[in-house]
Structure 1
Amino acid sequence: MGSVALCLLLALGLGALAASREKCVLSGAWRNDLGSNMTISAMDATGGFSGLYLTAVSATNATILESSLKGFQHMGQAQPTFGFTVTWNFSDSTTVFVGQCFVLPGGEEVLKIMWLLRELVDSPSNDWKATRVGTNTFIRQRVGDSTRHDGAW
C-alpha cells in the first residue's frame, strides 16, 4: 500500500510539473477585460510578430479604427515576456505594451499587460497630461467564441 501511495504522489507531482511547463503561445486571437480585441501573427525566427488591434475604449470622439501592431517576444521561454507598439489609425497617439503570456491551471492562456499611451500635445507645457498608464488582462479567444476575431471584427 505504501508503494501505491508513493506512486500516486509521484504521478501527481510530475503532472503538476508538466502543467507548470505548458507553453504559452502568443499568436492568435485575444480579448481584454475592457472588450478590446487583438490578433497576433505567428512569430518569426527572431521572435518578431505583427497583428491588428481594435480598442474598445478611446478618449477621442473620432471613429475607432483597427490599428496595426508590431512587436517582439522573448524566445525560448514557456511563459514568455513580450512587447509591442500600436500607432493608432484614428488619433495622434501611440501606445507601447509590455507583458507576459501565462498558462493558468486548467490550461487557460492569459496575457498580463502594462501599457503607456502617449498622445500628441501642442507644447512642452502640456507634457504633464500627454502620457497615460494602465494594465489589462487578455484571454485567448477559442474557435467558436462569439468574440473571436474572424477577419471582420
Structure 2
Amino acid sequence: MRTITVLFSLLCLYQISTSDGKQQKCDLRGQWRNELGSNMTVESMNNAGFFRGSYMTAVTTQNEMVVKVSPLSGFLNINGKSTVFGFLVKWSFVESVTSWVGQCFVDSNGVEHLETMWLLRGKAQSAGDDWAQTRVGKNVFHRIQ
C-alpha cells in the first residue's frame, strides 16, 4: 500500500510540475492575423531560432497605394522555454521598415496569441522632416486556422 501511495504522490508531483508546461512552447511557424487584418506567415525556422516569411499589411498611410507582400525575417529566443521573438519587415512598396518584438502566450485551452510592439521607420525627405518618420504601436496576432 505504501508503494502505491508513493507512486501516486510522484505522479501527482509530475503532473503539477508539467501542468505549468501547459503553457506550451509556441510554434511561430504558420499563418497569423492581427487585429487590423494584416497577415504574417512564418515559413521556416532553423535550429538557432532564425526564421523567414512574408507579411501582407492591411494598413497604409497613403490612399490608393498598391500594397505587395513583403519579406520578413526574425529570431525566436530558443534558450530554455522562452517564447520571446523579434522580426523585421522590409516593405516592398515603400521606403520603410518595421520591426516587431513580442512574446507568444498560450492560454489554458492551448490557443496561441502573439503580443507585440512595433516601430516603423519611414524615409524622411530632409533632416528637418526626420522627427515625423518614426511611429510606434502595438499588435496582437492570432493564428489563422
Match of 1:53 in 2: 55
User: How many residue pairs align between the two structures?
Assistant: 135
How far apart, CA to CA, are the structure 2 residues paired with 1:79 and 1:108? 17
Structure with the largest fraction of strand: 2
Shift of 1:15: 6.6
Q: TM-score scaled to structure 1, two decimals?
A: 0.80
How far apart, CA to CA, are the structure 2 residues paired with 1:113 and 1:69? 15
Match of 1:38 in 2: 40
Match of 1:93 in 2: 96
Q: Identity over aligned residues, as a percent?
A: 43
What are the within-5 Å matches in structure 2 for residues 11-26 of structure 1?
Answer: 13=16, 16-20=19-23, 22-26=24-28
How far apart, CA to CA, are the structure 1 residues paired with 2:80 and 2:67? 35
Aligned to 2:129, the other structure's residue is in SS state helix
Gaps of 5+ in 2: none
> Which of the pair has more CA radius of gyration?
2
Match of 1:131 in 2: 134
Shift of 1:44: 0.6
Gaps of 5+ in 1: 143-153
1:27 aligns with 2:24: no
1:110 aligns with 2:130: no
Find 1:74's aligned residue among 74, 77, 80.
77
Shift of 1:78: 3.0
Aligned to 1:128, the other structure's residue is in SS state helix
How far apart, CA to CA, are the structure 2 residues paired with 1:77 and 1:26? 16
Answer whether contact 2:44 2:53 (CA < 8 A) is retained. no
Which moved further from structure 2: 70-79 or 51-60?
Answer: 70-79
Moved over 6 A (4+): none
What CA RMSD, in Å, does the superposition of the two structures yield over aligned residues? 1.9
Q: Could you give the per-residue CA deviations for residues 67-102 of structure 1, whole angstroms, max 9, x where no partner exists?
A: 000111101343411111111111111101111111
Q: Could you give the per-residue CA deviations for residues 7-42 of structure 1, whole angstroms, max 9, x where no partner exists?
A: 7xx58845742313x111111110001100010023
